[in-house]
Chains A and B, each alone.
Chain A
Amino acid sequence: MSTALEPQAGAGTSAPASGGGSALRVAGDWARRAPLLPALIFMILVTQLPFVFTLIISFMNWNAYYPDQIGFAGLANYGAVFTDPDTLSAIWTTVIYTVSIVLLSLVIGFGVALLLDRAFLGRGVVRTLMITPFLIMPVAAFLVWKHALYNPNYGLFNGLLRLFFGPNAVQPDWISDWPKTSIVVSLVWEWTPFMMLILLAGLQSKPLDVIEAARIDGCSPWQVFRYMTFPHMRQYLELAGLLGSIYVVQTFDAVFTITSGGLGTANLPYIIYTIFYNAHDYGKASAAGVVVVVATIAIATFALRTVSSLFREE
């Protein structure tokens, strides 16, 4: 995929032809920035103001049930966040979720995209079926997972086990026995279509003429995949992985609906939610939110500037 062009100042800018090379360049710079400004200003106004608030609240001692005790708390909230065992295990859980869900859905999504890249009977239908999980409202979907699929008494999974293995079939309690896995499975189900769409797009934009030429020259399908398809797909895999990670780190509905954060499944968004709404400790919850932002920025910066090729210009 070709990346950004870098036209030199001469290639047909609409900058006024006033004298002085640097004035021209400055005018050119602003002409380039102008289309960006509305979006940028909008985002700064709408997101940074609340973030600054969150930052301020994180340094305050603010419990909704004790409105007369609001005051400045310095770094006490951050201390509380880092010493709270629930928060620390939530950090670990968030990492596990993000890594496993993104990797699994990338792999499955890539596999399905590869299959859908080939022609077969009913390909359009299968593509439609694969997109469906992404279209269903997540809250409803997780309710279905919890009550209609996983439920050990009247859920589909145990019902199918009964159907195939008779009335004495093992009837595991899916959520209680494998809580984190249950959540991961439902989230992989939700996000694979997203990955698949992006990867399928990448596959369908690969340079066919070059591949055709390689095949005629006698390259095996594996060689074609390894030396031509995969490098072309690298950008798409990284884009899908990056966007997917951003969403999966924030995932909340699945944990809330399926396990109510119990059995060790609570991740950071869920913990922040409980601090806000159970403990009503606004200061500590805001501090936890700020910690998440800082950590994500650090990790993302590292990933994007060193490992990823997304920011490199060809």
Chain B
Amino acid sequence: MTTTAERPVETKQGMSAQSRRRMSSLIVGVAAWIIGLIFVTPVLYMLLTSLHSEPDAATNPPSFFAPLTFEGYANFFGSGTGTSPWPSLINSATASILSTILVLVLSIPAAYALSIRPVRKWTDVMFFFLSTKMLPVVAGLLPIYLIAQFAGMLDNVYTLVIIYTSMNLPIAVWMMRSFLAEVPVEMLEAASLDGAGLIRTLRSVVVPVVLPGIAATSLICFIFSWNELLFARVLTATVAQTAPVYLTGFVTSQGLFLAKVCAAAVAVSLPVIVAGFAAQDKLVQGLSMGAVK
């Protein structure tokens, strides 16, 4: 377990060193809190706005203490349009979860082949993976649309699974490679001395050790897939619509929409936020690998 608290060292100065450290800890704490609150303010304001009625959300100056209402959320769940958000949410979940799993299945062995037992030209392979992210998504929309149309794969959630996997695989490979490179040589040598093949080594030695790293990578892939808008909008129609597309449906150029959209944004971001908060210390722990002793 990483420890970052400094144990008070008994020095000749004794108390004053300790109180000096407490002072600096206090300053650090205050600074961190201030910055943290600044960063979260837009989100808190979004939450507040989502609980206001439309006219209240658009007053000048902003009315912080307007009466709270769940109108926005009711609207998200279909009070205004009669349509339910659940199909979109389920589609998003399917696309995100499946693509994340596929990314892990593909990236962990690949990262193994780029770090622990690297292929000869591992730098070129790494660069290739990175280069697939250099074509602007907007430029790739048309060819992918035409290919999907030709293959009859429009409006199909599995098309999105494939696209999202290809979107996140390079990052996953880069990240997993960094984690795998931290696996201690001794453990691997011990495994191979025991006669373990690749799958065995991966399963019983490597994966448990980099599990926090896997958690970190899968969370990031999940976030990127869940929030993806451009491909979802272009490639889906009535059946495979995802949550972000459903959300943009509330942004209208002919009326007030702020409270509705904030409510929709909170609702749509909720799964990601829950996953993020639950996993976030696994996330940091995982990204660090200081756990390995």
- Which residues of chain A come closer than 8 Å to B237, judged between CB atoms? none
Most buried by B among A3, A119, A136, A269: A136
CB pair B135–A289 under 8 Å, yes or no, is yes
Q: Which of A54, A136, A155, A159 contacts B269 (CB 8 A)?
A: A136
- What's the nearest-Cβ distance from chain B to residue A61, in Å? 15
How many angstroms between the C-alpha atoms of A83 and B134 in the bound complex?
Answer: 23
Q: Is the CB of A40 within 8 A of B138?
A: no
Distance (whole angstroms) from the CB of A216 to the closest CB of chain B: 8
Interface size of B by CB at 8 A reads 119
Min Cβ gap B202→A in Å is 8
Contact of B42 with A133 in the complex, beta carbons under 8 Å: yes
Q: Are A163 and B61 in contact (CB under 8 A)?
A: yes
Does A219 interact with chain B (Cβ within 8 Å)? no
- Closest Cβ of chain B to A16, distance in Å, is 12
Across chains A and B, the number of contacting residue pairs, with CB separation under 8 Å, is 342
Interface SS majority for chain A: helix
Task: Tell which of B61, B122, B129, B137 touches A154, judged by Cβ atoms closer than 8 Å.
Answer: B61
Using known A-B contacts A124-B281, A154-B59, A252-B230, determine if residue A117 contacts B136 with beta carbons closer than 8 Å.
Answer: no
Contact A119 B5 (CB under 8 A): yes
* B46 and A115 form a contact (CB under 8 A): no
Q: Which of A4, A138, A202 has a CB less than 8 Å from the CB of B114?
A: A4
Q: Which chain B residue lies CB-closest to A33?
A: B119
When distances are taken between beta carbons in the complex, the residues of chain A under 8 Å from B290 are 204-206, 208
1/0 per position for B107-137, CB-CB distance to A under 8 A?
1011011111111101101111111111111
The reply to whether A127 and B284 contact each other, CB–CB distance below 8 Å, is: yes
A164 smallest CB distance to B (angstroms) = 11
Within 8 Å of chain B (Cβ to Cβ): is A11? yes
Q: B residues within 8 A CB of A163?
A: 61
Q: Could you say which of B134, B140, B189 contacts A11, with CB atoms under 8 Å apart? A: B189
Please name all residues of chain B whose beta carbon is closer than 8 Å to the beta carbon of A145 when the two chains form the complex: 42
Distance, CA A189 to CA B60, complexed state (A): 25
Q: B136, A162: Cβ atoms under 8 Å?
A: no
Measured in the bound complex, the distance between the Cα atoms of B61 and A11 in whole Å is 71
A134 close to B (CB within 8 Å): yes
Q: Hey, which chain A residues are within 8 Å of B4, CB to CB?
A: 117-119, 204
Decide yes or no whether A7 CB sits under 8 A from chain B: yes
- Closest B-chain residue to A116, C-beta based? B32
User: Secondary structure at chain B's binding surface: helix, strand, loop or mixed?
Assistant: helix
* B70 interface contact, C-beta 8 A: no
Check if B83 is an interface residue, CB within 8 A of chain A: no
Interface contact B166-A43, CB-CB below 8 Å? yes
User: Does A292 sit within 8 A of B, measured CB to CB?
Assistant: yes
Number of interface residues of A (CB under 8 A): 116
Cross-interface CB contact of A200 among B62, B140, B284, cutoff 8 Å? B284
Cβ of A288: which chain B residues have Cβ within 8 Å of it? 139
Q: Which residues of B contact A67 (CB under 8 A)?
A: none
Cβ-based interface call for A42 (8 A):
yes
Residues on A with beta carbons closer than 8 Å to the beta carbon of B24: 118
Assuming the contacts A12-B193, A123-B32, A201-B288, asked whether A135 and B116 have C-beta atoms less than 8 A apart, the reply is no
Partner of A130, one of B36, B130, B223, B281: B36
Closest Cβ neighbor of B129 among chain A residues: A43
Instruction: Tell me whether B239 is interfacial, beta carbon within 8 Å.
Output: no
Q: Does A110 contact B (CB under 8 A)?
A: no
Taking CB atoms, residues of chain A closer than 8 Å to B269 are 135-137, 140
Residue-wise, chain B 91-110 has the 8 Å CB interface mask toward A (1 for contact) of 00000000000000111011
Besides A53-B143, A121-B29, A155-B62, 12 more A-B contacts (Cβ < 8 Å) are: A5-B115, A35-B112, A43-B129, A50-B135, A50-B140, A112-B36, A133-B40, A137-B269, A139-B244, A154-B61, A201-B288, A292-B136
A–B Cβ pairs within 8 angstroms, 10 of them: A29-B119, A36-B119, A119-B6, A123-B32, A127-B36, A127-B280, A137-B269, A193-B39, A282-B142, A289-B135
